Structure 1
């Protein structure tokens, strides 16, 4: 019995031991599952952090010489690798996957600027340019550092759109007041439908000129008798520090015109580019010619004004027919509206379709509105030339300030933001040169050809390249614009017309490194681009060939005199190399890589005319590898032509007009052909 009891106790002990073992195994299993479950995020975090750190380290090592870019990364995201993944949310995991298919957007150019980049001892004629570039680059970096550190402060100024600028219903000036204002009348709020301006003046007697701009001189030293004056409506508030556009140019030429007859010429001018002139030569408009608010564009006048007998006879015949009533409508040919040293009263009025000009109570000419401008844009009147102005009156002016300011016309809508960059290479990269204060121009580009499906799908990438402006407030606005829209690359130097060539090099660098494009195109912010036509044009060239496409100039010589003169020190050669006009040209990426490599190794020759510089670099590349030059007039240098690939000198409103016509009609059609 004792043994039996012992066996029972032993069995009970074994049974309890088994139960405890099972409980321990279960507890260990639960603990293990819990441990594994909690460990997974740490494993992923470690892996992603490691990969991210490695990638970041590689990127910084690759661009170790780009101090400006490194500074930008440090200041924008000093702890970004640690903040990419959260332990409490799966959302950053999706963000990480999104990052794997897109590239981060950088607003600062990664072109390698170094102290040795600009050598003042250069002996290739670019000494002054290198000195200017070195100073501009040093000043630009200081300004950029101030902007990044938040130390840049701008005094509070009223923005143009918030100004309580008065809008007078009328303006009146005497001749002496007009002279004190430098022959200019300001119209703060522009014009509106029904506005009219009256000028009382007297043309001066003709004087001799040796180099008249409106006549042809047969022999050197020959003089021509000239008497002419200009009345112009100007867009004074369009863009600061630039010549204002001439919204209406009214130019009576009493004597000195190349036709040897008195004429009236009317036109518009934008960025020194004249449109197609409307010349009234006394013939009168044709019956089938379109009118302006029912008025003919040009009235008829007596051309042979020296034939007094004919003039007197025509007057007598007119009065006779009037008295005896032979016809209900009797026509009479008046003389040319202006005469030397004879007082006149001219009235310019704004109609529905255009401007109308009456002289001494009679209609003289009408000029249709051109798409690039509105009545609000005409904020100044200038009268210059061979004329004495006695008084100026402007009435029926708008009582309200214009609803927008062209200088700050930005629409901060996500609709106009640039699409993200894809990780892979792209077919075409378009770099657009722009100035810091060209806010309206950039906005017009965003709303027009940058809406092309190839750009929206990131198969084609477009970016503005802008240098820093002399005014701090413009730079701060520019930085905000760049950060919001994501389509601006800031090249950190103080902007200067002679240094535009640096932006061109930056375009090449961005095209070959950041987006790895097959082809690189350079354009301007007043150039309209037909993206699909550009792609078709480059596809005409067999793959793998080096190419240079544009409106190419051959055997052009530098101007040695005048405003755009080039000295022999700057360009000692007699001819320029073949070069494509700057508003729009294309090159293959191998040429772009060559340019960047030469620049960063301090071997690239720089010249102040960026399009000539590009021609020079392509010619140098061509000496080692053949380049296919393709010339096409459809890369329009001056204005717009039918079937254009690019259209130049287009105002913001014309850019929108070209895009709308392209969308509605499916074919390119110019707005106000030039």
Structure 2
């Protein structure tokens, strides 16, 4: 795998390690809580202090229905999952997916706290569904295909589709978004979420970019380019790095509600921060998420 980002969890803290070539080490502490989604959870979060007065009157953001295709067999979620892990991947990343399947996402029998991992891949239906990906899905049942071209500037659409599908088709208490060059200490993470959490609602947590590190890129040659027409401010509101962030289901509902009204930006993690900001959801700079380690090799 070309880069390695690791999510490690001790008894009472979550640690996210990320290594990309030779960079520096950052450790942050996270405190979160067990939250069980009840049938009335949608109304419970909606009745909180969230204000949508700043949102457009007409929907102009993500059209979730258009991203799904009835001809493709979507994954099946188990019941009563504590955590759903959504991993962004691509058609040609089979090696990365198999590495994850054989390590931190390896299925275990009689798990005390159920959780599942799914891979998010873009695949326009006009091209027909790849026989290879159909075979892989039949073998593993862990791939969610979306009706969009799979390139970097569609990463936002990929993640929004994954969150939407998870809330629609799965029973889960938390959602972790990460990438296919990451390692998640999944067993300890889930145990921590069940046994040691204290925050029940509004959980959006990860490695938060400091002020001065959230500038909007205006260079048209950059893959992170955003025009002033698409986003007028020169700096994004606070947001967690896309290498990994955790959402409680009520927070995910709020973010997806805003996504229907806020036009999509090609910077996925910053877009999530914009949505959170619009609905009054504060991002927490997490416990022990570590981005980079200069001493690691791969």
Q: Which of 418, 431, 439 is 2:86 aligned to?
A: 431
Q: Deviations over 1:334-379 (max 9, x none)?
A: xxxxxxxxxxxxxxxxxxxxxxxxxxxxxxxxxxxxxxxxxxxxxx
How far apart, CA to CA, are the structure 2 residues paired with 1:481 and 1:451?
16
Q: In angstroms, what is the RMSD of aligned CA positions?
A: 3.7
Q: Does 1:635 align with 2:289?
A: yes
Query: Closer, same or farther in 2 for the Cα pair 1:543/1:637, shift >3 Å?
Result: closer
Figure out how many residues of one structure are paired with residues of the other and give that number. Answer: 235
Q: Deviations over 1:450-499 (max 9, x none)?
A: 12649966711111111106995872211221122111111122223222
TM-aligned CA deviation for residue 506 of structure 1: 2.0
Q: Deviations over 1:255-303 (max 9, x none)?
A: xxxxxxxxxxxxxxxxxxxxxxxxxxxxxxxxxxxxxxxxxxxxxxxxx
CA contact (8 A) 2:178 2:242 kept: yes
Gaps of 5+ in 1: 1-122, 149-417, 642-669
Q: Which of 516, 522, 531 is 2:186 aligned to?
A: 531
Q: Does 1:607 align with 2:265?
A: yes
How far apart, CA to CA, are the structure 2 residues paired with 1:572 and 1:628?
21
Residue 39 of structure 1 is matched in structure 2 by: none
How far apart, CA to CA, are the structure 1 residues paired with 2:109 and 2:176?
15
How far apart, CA to CA, are the structure 2 residues paired with 1:583 and 1:454?
28
Residue 217 of structure 2 is matched in structure 1 by: 559
CA contact (8 A) 1:437 1:469 kept: no
Where is the helix percentage greater, Structure 1 or Structure 2? 1
How far apart, CA to CA, are the structure 1 residues paired with 2:117 and 2:190?
14
Runs of 4+ in 1 over 6 A off after TM superposition: none
Q: Which of 496, 505, 517 is 2:172 aligned to?
A: 517
Residue correspondence of structure 1 range 336-355 to structure 2 within 5 A? none
Query: Closer, same or farther in 2 for the Cα pair 1:487/1:457, shift >3 Å?
Result: farther
Gaps of 5+ in 2: 1-55
Query: Closer, same or farther in 2 for the Cα pair 1:502/1:473, shift >3 Å?
Result: closer
Residue 114 of structure 2 is matched in structure 1 by: 459
How far apart, CA to CA, are the structure 2 residues paired with 1:541 and 1:569?
41
Query: Closer, same or farther in 2 for the Cα pair 1:570/1:537, shift >3 Å?
Result: farther
Residue 76 of structure 1 is matched in structure 2 by: none
How far apart, CA to CA, are the structure 2 residues paired with 1:589 and 1:461?
15
How far apart, CA to CA, are the structure 1 residues paired with 2:141 and 2:110?
13
How far apart, CA to CA, are the structure 2 residues paired with 1:581 and 1:463?
20
The 3-state SS of whatever aligns with 1:518 is strand
TM-aligned CA deviation for residue 511 of structure 1: 2.8
Q: Deviations over 1:420-443 (max 9, x none)?
A: 743x32211101111112111111
TM-aligned CA deviation for residue 550 of structure 1: 1.0
Q: Does 1:596 align with 2:251?
A: no
Q: Does 1:544 align with 2:200?
A: yes
CA contact (8 A) 2:240 2:283 kept: no
Residue correspondence of structure 1 range 116-135 to structure 2 within 5 A? none
Query: Closer, same or farther in 2 for the Cα pair 1:493/1:566, shift >3 Å?
Result: closer
Question: TM-score of the superposition, structure 1-length normalised?
Answer: 0.31
Q: Deviations over 1:188-247 (max 9, x none)?
A: xxxxxxxxxxxxxxxxxxxxxxxxxxxxxxxxxxxxxxxxxxxxxxxxxxxxxxxxxxxx
CA contact (8 A) 1:501 1:607 kept: yes
CA contact (8 A) 2:115 2:190 kept: no
Residue correspondence of structure 1 range 364-375 to structure 2 within 5 A? none
How far apart, CA to CA, are the structure 2 residues paired with 1:480 and 1:594?
35
Task: Kindly name which structure, 1 or 2, has the bigger radius of gyration based on alpha carbons.
Answer: 1
CA contact (8 A) 1:501 1:610 kept: yes
Query: Closer, same or farther in 2 for the Cα pair 1:516/1:597, shift >3 Å?
Result: farther
How far apart, CA to CA, are the structure 2 residues paired with 1:605 and 1:473?
28
Residue correspondence of structure 1 range 127-146 to structure 2 within 5 A? none
How far apart, CA to CA, are the structure 2 residues paired with 1:511 and 1:612?
21
Query: Closer, same or farther in 2 for the Cα pair 1:543/1:549, shift >3 Å?
Result: closer
How far apart, CA to CA, are the structure 1 residues paired with 2:256 and 2:110?
25
Question: TM-score of the superposition, structure 2-length normalised?
Answer: 0.66
Residue 442 of structure 1 is matched in structure 2 by: 97
How far apart, CA to CA, are the structure 1 residues paired with 2:282 and 2:113?
28
The 3-state SS of whatever aligns with 2:147 is strand
Query: Closer, same or farther in 2 for the Cα pair 1:425/1:470, shift >3 Å?
Result: closer
